Amino acid sequence: MERSRPAAQNGDIDCLWCDYSPCYREDKYYWTEPYLTVTVSVAAKKTSGIKSLAHLDGSKTIAVIAGSVSERRLLAGDLGVSSDVQIKSYGSAELCKAALVKGYVDCWMADVQSLDRLVAQYPGVYRVFADNVMTVDLGVAFDDSYEGSVVKDLNTALFDMDRDGTIDRIVGNYKTGATTGGQGGNS
């Protein structure tokens, strides 16, 4: 997503709105209010013995999406993970999942919905840590020089969607996808 910043700055795109968090980017963009909070955890093979971040040592590798809050917090050292743990950054959740499934990494840090889909796809093989690692607020980012009513109007629309249950229904479709094997309840 950071590679999209020049496109937002020169006006080629209006906003960045895809699983995007202000965390560590507060001063880089003009943000809407958070419209969703996602929970982040870690998945590992049940046979690995890894049940929490405390079980990771220098011989372990963890997959994260490049540029994600998970990557930023691991690199900043503020999750209490040993500095010897190898962080492998991938361009998408699908690549992180593939790295875990193929054994290139020992675990994968991501939003719980993605991890639940992994567990459902491979019954009995993977576990998601019982303790969640963090929660992350998601927002919509505009160029920091943006001066329009769109952000205010979008905040109002997002608030209304939250209040009337629209956001919960949308998220519910993705949670349903974890048990149906699809990306959402209707796929």
Is there a single domain that holds both residue 28 and residue 54? no
Q: Is residue 180 situated within a structural domain?
A: no
Is there a single domain that holds both residue 124 and residue 51? yes
The rounded distance, in Å, linking the Cα atoms of 118 and 124 is 11
The rounded distance, in Å, linking the Cα atoms of 28 and 92 is 22
> Would you state the pLDDT for residue 108?
97
**Which ranges of 77-165 would DSSP assign to H, the alpha helix?**
93-101, 112-121, 150-163
Q: Which helix (H) or strand (E) holds 75?
A: helix 69-76
pLDDT per position as a tens digit, 30-44: 777 888 788 899 999
Q: State yes or no: pLDDT of 178 exceeds 50.
A: no
Is there a single domain that holds both residue 45 and residue 126? yes
Is there a single domain that holds both residue 11 and residue 97? no
**Hey, which of 5-9, 19-23, 26-30, 150-154 has the most confident mean pLDDT?**
150-154
Is there a single domain that holds both residue 78 and residue 164? no
Q: Is residue 157 situated within a structural domain?
A: yes
> Would you state the pLDDT for residue 119?
95
In percent, the amount of the chain with pLDDT more than 90 equals 35
Is there a single domain that holds both residue 74 and residue 61? yes
Is there a single domain that holds both residue 159 and residue 85? no
Q: Which amino acid is at 123?
A: P
Is there a single domain that holds both residue 170 and residue 117? no
Is there a single domain that holds both residue 45 and residue 128? yes
Q: Is residue 183 situated within a structural domain?
A: no
pLDDT per position as a tens digit, 121-177: 999 999 999 888 888 888 888 877 776 788 888 888 888 998 999 888 887 776 555
The rounded distance, in Å, linking the Cα atoms of 71 and 99 is 16
How many domains is the chain built from? Answer: 2
State which residues form the domain around 64: 38-135
Average pLDDT, the chain: 82
**Residue 142 CB-density burial (10 A; 0-12 exposed, 13-18 middle, 19+ buried):** buried
Please answer whether residues 102 and 89 qualify as being in contact, where contact means their C-beta atoms are separated by less than 8 angstroms. no
Is there a single domain that holds both residue 84 and residue 126? yes
Q: State yes or no: pLDDT of 72 exceeds 50.
A: yes
186: pLDDT confidence band, cut at 50, 70 and 90?
A: very low
Nearest CA-CA partner of 64 in 40, 46, 47: 40
Is there a single domain that holds both residue 81 and residue 157? no
Q: Is residue 185 situated within a structural domain?
A: no
The rounded distance, in Å, linking the Cα atoms of 184 and 174 is 4
Q: Taking the complete model, does pTM exceed 0.95, yes or no?
A: no
- Strands (E) across 58-148 are located at 61-65, 86-90, 107-111, 126-128, 134-138, 141-143
Is there a single domain that holds both residue 165 and residue 105? no
21: pLDDT confidence band, cut at 50, 70 and 90?
A: low
